[in-house]
Structure 1
C-alpha cells in the first residue's frame, strides 16, 4: 500500500513538470514568433496527455482451494476452564436450649360412684322354697350310684322378681347335683321384688341351700 502511494506521487510530479515545460515552450513560441503549426501540434499533444489517478490495487485474496481438495474446518478453540473457588464451609453454631419445663396440671379425681341403693325391703320367696326341687328332679345316675349332698347357692333377682343368675357357693361334692340346682332355680324360683328407699323396685340377691337326699 505504501509503494502504490509513492508511485502515484511520482507520476503526478512528472505530469506537472511536463505541463510546465509545455507552457514554457508555448510561451517561448509566441514570444519568438514560431509558426502556428508548432503551436497546434503542441496543443494536440497537450490534449492527448490526461493525467488520471490510478486506483489503488485491490487487496489480493487467497486463491480458492481446488474443488477436489476437502475444506478443512476451522480449529476448535476450547474455552478456558472455569476455575471454581471452593466456598468456605458454613459455620455451625450450636445453641444449647434448656430442657422444656413440664408443668403438670393436677388431674381432678373422678367423682366417687354413687352409693349403692339400700333396699328398704329385701326380696322374699313366693311360695315354699322346699318345693323348688323335688325327688323327681334327682339325677338318675346320681340316684343309681347313691350319691347325695347339699349345694349352697346364691341367685340374683331382677326388679320383676325373676332369677337372672345362679351361682354355686358351696358344692355338694358332685358336679351333676350342683349343675342341676342352678338349672332348676331360674325356672322355678319366684320372688317378691325388693323395694328401695325411694319406693321403687330394685334388684336383690337371695342365698340358701338345696339338700339332695336319696328318695326312699
Structure 2
C-alpha cells in the first residue's frame, strides 16, 4: 500500500517520507521564474506511472496548483529526479504501479529570513 503525503516545494522545501519513493527532488533554482514573479503558490496533485525498474514512465497532474508553470515543473521534476523502489508482486517479481502524491509550492517569507541575519 502506498501512503499519500505532501511533498513541500519552494525556494526552500521540506520533503516527507513516502513508501516506495526516495524523495529528494528540490533545489533552490527549480521554482519556475514566471510563477515566482507572479507570486504563484499552490499544491499540485500528480500521478506517476512507475515502471518495473523503478523509473517514472509518465506523469499527469490530477489537480492543478493554480499556475501552469507550477504544474509543468511538478511533472518535470518528478520525471527527471523521481527515484522509486520497484514494487514487487506476490512472487517477488517487479511490477508497474502508480504513485499519487502532492507537491506544495510555497514562496518563503523573505522578511523573516532578513530579520534573522
Using structure 1 for the length normalisation, give the TM-score: 0.41
Which 4+ residue blocks in structure 1 deviate beyond 6 angstroms?
Answer: none
Q: Structure 2: any 5+ residue segments left out of the alignment?
A: 3-18, 111-117
Q: Does 1:185 align with 2:46?
A: no
Which of 75, 87, 98 matches 1:194? 87
Give the whole-Å Cα distance in 2 for the aligned partners of 1:153 and 1:204: 14
Q: Structure 1: any 5+ residue segments left out of the alignment?
A: 1-120
CA positional deviation for 1:194: 0.4
Greater percentage in helix: 1
How big is the alpha-carbon RMSD for the aligned residues of Structure 1 and Structure 2? 1.6
Aligned length: 93
Higher RCO (Cα < 8 Å, 6 or more apart): 2
Greater percentage in strand: 2
Q: Does 1:124 align with 2:20?
A: yes
Using structure 2 for the length normalisation, give the TM-score: 0.73
Q: Counterparts of 1:60-75 in structure 2 under 5 Å?
A: none
Which of 99, 105, 109 matches 1:212? 105
User: Whose radius of gyration is greater, 1 or 2?
Assistant: 1
